[in-house]
């Protein structure tokens, strides 16, 4: 049993590392981010239910779709939501807010968990850093999250208070621009 658990953990670490270092091109699509968040919440709903944590979504009215890689945004959301769920005590709340941001969209994931000590805030994005018990986490979720968001040209900010919870805010810029001639450019043509 211990060997099987260790093999599964090693497989997870390997897949996350390979997914991070692979030089694949992003597959951009026009994405309704609020809808993508709803779909991701459905994927992770069972984990929240098992931990007796309530998930709440608040999306601003009239959000416009943006051009972005939906699979990578989904991975960011899964990482943030999973961490928030595990940091929150039974009966707690994880809330997700989606709103327009400068040249893109902002997604905030807040929990009512135990919070992150100030001395750990600088370490949480390092690979293999985890406060979870051995075998419970790879320490790669936030590292991969930051790598993805950096690749988009976005930002990740974290605010935390011990005993009150943590809030991660991810800003993702639209990966498409309208050129001077009115044509839409996506991907490499973006300056």
Q: Give helix then strand counts, H and E, for the chain.
A: 4, 9
Q: Percent of the chain having pLDDT more than 90? A: 43
What average pLDDT is seen over the chain? 81
Determine the pLDDT at residue 117: 83
Report the SS3 class of residue 17: helix
Determine the pLDDT at residue 170: 96
- At CA 101, angle to CA 62 and CA 179, rounded to 5? 90
d(CA 157, CA 9): 28
The answer to whether 95 and 85 have CB atoms below 8 angstroms apart is no
Burial of 25 (0-12, 13-18, 19+ CB in 10 A): exposed
Mean pLDDT of all residues in 54-79 = 92
Give pLDDT tens digits for 20-37: 555 456 688 899 999 999
Residue 123, token pair as written in the block? 């370490």
d(CA 13, CA 8): 9
166 membership: H or E segment, kind and range: strand 165-173
Non-local (6+) Cβ contacts of 165 within 8 A are 87, 88, 110, 111, 112, 113, 114, 115
93 membership: H or E segment, kind and range: strand 93-101
The answer to whether 94 and 109 have CB atoms below 8 angstroms apart is yes
Residue 92, token pair as written in the block? 């707690």
Give pLDDT tens digits for 138-152: 556 788 888 889 888
Give pLDDT tens digits for 80-121: 999 899 889 999 999 999 999 988 999 999 999 988 888 887
Determine the pLDDT at residue 179: 45
């Amino acid at each position: 049993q211990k060997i099987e658990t260790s093999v599964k953990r090693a497989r997870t670490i390997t897949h996350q590392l390979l997914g991070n270092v692979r030089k694949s091109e992003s597959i951009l699509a026009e994405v309704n981010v609020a809808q993508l968040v709803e779909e991701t919440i459905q994927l992770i709903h069972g984990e929240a239910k098992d931990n007796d944590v309530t998930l709440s979504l608040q999306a601003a009215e009239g959000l416009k779709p943006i051009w972005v890689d939906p699979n990578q945004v989904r991975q960011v959301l899964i990482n943030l939501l999973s961490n928030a769920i595990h940091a929150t005590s039974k009966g707690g709340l994880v809330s997700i807010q989606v709103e327009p941001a400068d040249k893109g969209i902002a997604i905030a994931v807040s929990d009512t968990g135990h919070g992150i000590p100030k001395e750990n805030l600088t370490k949480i994005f390092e690979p293999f850093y985890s406060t979870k018990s051995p075998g419970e986490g790879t320490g790669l979720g936030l590292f991969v999250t930051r790598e993805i968001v950096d690749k988009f040209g976005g930002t990740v900010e974290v605010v935390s208070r011990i005993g009150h919870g943590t809030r991660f805010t991810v800003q993702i810029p639209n990966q498409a621009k309208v050129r001077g001639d009115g044509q839409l450019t996506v991907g490499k043509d973006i300056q």
